Structure 1
Amino acid sequence: MSLKEFKIGWFATILGTGGVAIASLPYFPVLSVVLTYLLTAIFVILTAVWLAKIIRYPRVVAAELGHFVMGNFYPLQPISAVILAILYRKLGIPLDLPLLAYGAGLILVLTVYLSYHFFANVKAEIHHIHGGWFIPPVSTILVTDALLQYSPNETFFVTSLIYFGIGLMLFLFISTILFLRLVNHELPVFELAPTNFILLAPIGILIVDFTLIAKHAEAIFSANLVPLALIASISLWGFGLWALAVNILLLLRYLRQEMPFFLGWWSYVFPTAAYTLSTIALSHFVPVFSYAATALYAFLIAAWAIIGVRTVGIAIRGA
Structure 2
Amino acid sequence: PLGQSTTAVGRLADVAPTAVGGSLAPALGAFAVVYGVPVMGFALLWLALSAALVVRALRRGMPFSLGWWAFTFPIGTCVTGAEALAHRTGPVAFQWLAVGLFALLVTAWVTVFAGTVRGLIGGALLAGPQAPRPGTARTR
Q: Does 1:293 align with 2:98?
A: yes
User: What secondary structure sits across from 2:61 in the alignment?
Assistant: coil
Alpha carbon RMSD of aligned pairs, Å? 1.4
Question: Partner residue of 2:135?
Answer: none
Question: Partner residue of 1:207?
Answer: 6
Give, in whole Å, the separation in 2 of the partners of 1:261 and 1:309: 10
Give, in whole Å, the separation in 2 of the partners of 1:248 and 1:228: 30
Give, in whole Å, the separation in 2 of the partners of 1:256 and 1:220: 51
Give, in whole Å, the separation in 2 of the partners of 1:215 and 1:292: 20
Question: 2:7 touches 2:81 (CA, 8 Å); kept in 1?
Answer: yes
Give the helix-richer structure, 1 or 2.
Answer: 1
How do residues 59-138 of structure 1 correspond to structure 2 at under 5 angstroms? none
- CA offsets, 1:206-258, max 9 Å, x none? 11100111222321211221011111011110110110111111111111211
Question: Partner residue of 2:108?
Answer: 303
Question: Partner residue of 1:266?
Answer: 69
Query: Which residue type is aligned with residue 294 of structure 1?
Result: V
Give, in whole Å, the separation in 2 of the partners of 1:227 and 1:218: 13
User: What secondary structure sits across from 1:260 in the alignment?
Assistant: coil
User: What secondary structure sits across from 1:261 in the alignment?
Assistant: coil
Q: Which has the higher contact order (CA 8 A, sep 6+)?
A: 2
After TM superposition, give the deviation of residue 283 of structure 1 in Å. 1.3
Give, in whole Å, the separation in 1 of the partners of 2:67 and 2:15: 36
Query: Which residue type is aligned with residue 231 of structure 1?
Result: V
Query: Equivalent of 1:313, from 115, 118, 121?
Result: 118
Question: Partner residue of 2:129?
Answer: none
Question: Partner residue of 1:230?
Answer: 33
User: What secondary structure sits across from 1:306 in the alignment?
Assistant: helix
Give, in whole Å, the separation in 2 of the partners of 1:283 and 1:218: 19
Question: Partner residue of 1:276?
Answer: 79
Give, in whole Å, the separation in 2 of the partners of 1:221 and 1:299: 37
Tell me the matched-pair count.
118
Query: Equivalent of 2:19, from 216, 220, 227?
Result: 220
Give, in whole Å, the separation in 1 of the partners of 2:19 and 2:104: 37
Q: Which runs of 4+ in 1 moved over 6 A?
A: none
After TM superposition, give the deviation of residue 270 of structure 1 in Å. 1.4
Query: Which residue type is aligned with residue 8 of structure 2?
Result: D
Query: Equivalent of 2:51, from 227, 248, 252?
Result: 248
Provide structure 1 residue ranges, at least 5 long, that are not aligned to the other structure: 1-201
Q: State percent identity of aligned pairs.
A: 32
The TM-score, its normalising length taken from structure 2, stands at 0.78
User: What secondary structure sits across from 2:62 in the alignment?
Assistant: coil
Give, in whole Å, the separation in 1 of the partners of 2:82 and 2:42: 13
